[in-house]
Structure 1
């Protein structure tokens, strides 16, 4: 259900806690600002970010959340995320897996779907719809070659097709796109 093995993810972080240069890349920081700007509301009571990495996106999102929970599979990333957002809750999980409980009204999936296989994507969508049907979902998708079996557009298309939520494009740039689905009442 995961297209990428845990040891591959751990290898990405073997030389440090910022393998994609999130802290220093003007492109990444602009994408994080665009992600926050694409949100449908000015504040949320509880946010769940899947694949939080080293917490750099969380720095932009957590200030507008009553509670922030980040999930990642790599302990090195989670340690950095805890330093980045000391008030956040961080949970080690290798997706797909049962997600942390909470009254989440925002769920962020930033450049993570292509780490799963089609069955894992469908299982994740089903879990989100079953447990948090009223939550806003925000997907940030890399449009270049992912280096994984699934590419970003394909993974996003599978995810969108696996949930009955209505989706719309909420932002992006030449190399990424942001899609948002409002929760169902």
Structure 2
């Protein structure tokens, strides 16, 4: 993950990974595997040119995203997680894994896909606003923003997936394309508004079905 809640020491995530490679058992649980598969299935375009996945943890979602991206930059703030993600994606072309703490350390250039998975509930309001502004500035017109977050209250989380969805709904530069809600998590797909043209076309519109 990429940020701890206010008052949580910076060592919080380092401690989570101490003594275990995968503290959330992301590679083992059917819940996680199903959620990752749904996330990739919800992508509205068959292929992306350049994608960014901050808070990649040990790279389980990264591996799935790689099959849809020419170039994928994954990042995490925890050094051991970065090393694990690098090892797990070493056989995949186009994948780079870096140690970054977002939003302060945000990569340059433009992206046509940004994936925020299990990240935003850790961020204080001002930090979340800064991160979303970074997304706005780097996401191309018509690009895709995917968010997926746990929807149960947790002491270490500042908000739920439902709370995050309400926050994103207030951003005029985003158009909601898909909204998948379960008791356990909220998965949303937004597209970046096209300059002067409104929302990006839907998958059906893109293929002339509408």
- TM-score with structure 2 setting the length: 0.81
- 2:111 and 2:138 in contact (8 A); partners too: no
- Going from structure 1 to structure 2, the CA distance change for 1:11 and 1:2 (only over 3 Å counts) comes to closer
Partner of 2:158: 150
Question: Residues of 2 paired with 1:30 and 1:95: CA distance?
Answer: 26
Partner of 1:78: 82
- 1:2 and 1:96 in contact (8 A); partners too: no
Partner of 1:182: 191
| Structure of larger gyration radius | 2
SS of structure 2 residue aligned to 1:54: coil
- Going from structure 1 to structure 2, the CA distance change for 1:174 and 1:69 (only over 3 Å counts) comes to same
Count residues in correspondence: 185
Higher relative contact order (CA 8 A, sep 6+): 1
Moved more, 29-38 or 148-157: 148-157
SS of structure 1 residue aligned to 2:82: helix
2:41 counterpart (33, 37, 44): 37
Q: Does 1:90 align with 2:97?
A: yes
Question: Residues of 2 paired with 1:163 and 1:157: CA distance?
Answer: 12
Which structure is higher in helix share? 1
1:127 counterpart (119, 131, 134): 134
Question: Residues of 1 paired with 2:58 and 2:172: CA distance?
Answer: 28
Question: Residues of 2 paired with 1:146 and 1:101: CA distance?
Answer: 33
SS of structure 1 residue aligned to 2:11: helix
- 1:23 and 1:56 in contact (8 A); partners too: yes
Question: Residues of 2 paired with 1:172 and 1:57: CA distance?
Answer: 19
Question: Residues of 2 paired with 1:161 and 1:146: CA distance?
Answer: 24
State the superposition RMSD in angstroms. Answer: 1.9
2:20 counterpart (7, 16, 25): 16
- 2:110 and 2:138 in contact (8 A); partners too: no
- Going from structure 1 to structure 2, the CA distance change for 1:2 and 1:160 (only over 3 Å counts) comes to farther
Q: Does 1:140 align with 2:144?
A: no
- Going from structure 1 to structure 2, the CA distance change for 1:164 and 1:146 (only over 3 Å counts) comes to farther
Alpha-carbon offset, residue 90 of structure 1 = 1.3
